Amino acid sequence: MTTAEPVTRTSPYQHYVYAYPHKTAYRPLPDRPLLAELWASEPKDALSLYLHIPFCEVRCGFCNLFTRIGAPDGLTGAYLDALERQATAVRDALGEGARFATAAFGGGTPTFLTAAELERLCDIAEHRMGADLRAVPLSVEASPATATADRLAVLADRGATRLSLGVQSFVDAEARAAVRPQRRADVEAALGRVREARIPVLNIDLIYGIDGQTEQSWLHSLDAALTWRPEELYLYPLYVRPLTGLGRRHPAPGPRTGGDPAWDERRLTLYRAGRDHLLARGYTQHSMRMFRRADAPPQGADDYACQTDGMIGLGCGARSYTSGLHYSFDYAVDMHQIRGIIDDYVAGDAAGFARAQVGYPMSPAEARRRHLLQSLLQADGLRPDDYRDRFGSAPADDFGPELERFADRGWLTDADPTALRLTPEGLAHSDAVGPELFSPAVRTAMAAYERK
CATH number at 436 reads 1.10.10.920
pLDDT digits (tens, 9 = 90+) for 129-173: 999 999 999 999 999 999 999 999 999 999 999 999 999 999 999
Average confidence (pLDDT) over 286-297: 94
- When mean pLDDT is compared across 24-38, 273-287, 333-347, the lowest value belongs to 333-347
Domain that holds residue 103: 26-293
Shortest CA distance to 311 belongs to which of 18, 11, 72, 53? 18
Q: In this model, does residue 398 exceed pLDDT 80? A: yes
Residue 354: what are its φ and ψ, rounded to 5°?
-85, 0
Residue 298 clears pLDDT 80, i.e. is over it: no
Contact partners, residue 31, CB within 8 Å, separation at least 6: none
65 with 236: CB under 8 angstroms?
no
- Least confident stretch, 61-70, 197-206, 334-343, 392-401: 61-70
Taking the C-alpha atoms of residue 288 and residue 88, their distance in angstroms, rounded to an integer, is 38
My answer on whether 287 and 167 are in the same domain is: yes
Residue finishing a domain among 274, 293, 312: 293
CB 342 within 8 A of CB 92: no
User: Global pTM?
Assistant: 0.92
Mean pLDDT computed over every residue of the chain: 90
In terms of domains, do 105 and 246 share one? yes
Indicate whether 13 pLDDT > 70. Answer: yes
Give the residue from 293, 318, 345 where a domain finishes.
293
pLDDT in tens, 14-57: 888 888 999 999 999 999 999 999 999 999 999 999 999 998 87
**Which CATH number do you get for residue 270?**
3.80.30.20
Angle between the 335-346 and 75-94 helix axes, to the nearest 10 degrees? Answer: 60
pLDDT band for position 307 (50/70/90)? Answer: very low
Is the Cβ–Cβ distance between 12 and 432 less than 8 Å? yes
For residue 114, tell me if it sits in a domain.
yes
Asked, for residue 136, whether it belongs to a domain, the answer is yes
